[in-house]
Amino acid sequence: MVDRLRTQVEKEKRDQRVFRTVIEEGPIGITRIAVETGIAEHKVRYSLRMLEADGLVEPTPDGAVPPEEIGERLERMNRGIDDLVERLEALKDVL
């Protein structure tokens, strides 16, 4: 169980690195994100798909960009992360 969680956290960490790069550098393409982050292109492509599905990036002909209402989405993400941390702490106390 812990190994699965660790793997998922690493994927989320990678997605956040890609997301931050899009926010800071967008519009930006897969190859440039890979160069800037050191993440393999196929993993960048996967992360961008996940971020797009979550409504956190938008594809354009010039590359990925953050949506216009990114501030609100970041606030919701941070609240969600805080909630997850609380849940993990509670789980640790049970075990």
- Give mean pLDDT in consecutive 10-residue pieces for the chain, a chain of 95 residues: 86 94 96 97 97 94 92 87 89 76
Residue 3 structure tokens: 């190994």
**Is 81 within the bounds of a domain?**
no
pLDDT at 92: 79
The CATH number given to whatever domain includes residue 43 is 1.10.10.10
For residue 60, what are the domain limits? 2-67
Total number of domains in the chain: 1
Helix (H), strand (E), coil (C) string for the chain:
CHHHHHHHHHHHHHHHHHHHHHHHHCCECHHHHHHHHCCCHHHHHHHHHHHHHCCCCEEECCEEECCCCHHHHHHHHHHHHHHHHHHHHHHHHHC
pLDDT at 5: 84
pLDDT at 76: 87
pLDDT at 32: 98
**Is 40 within the bounds of a domain?**
yes
**Is 24 within the bounds of a domain?**
yes
**Is 90 within the bounds of a domain?**
no
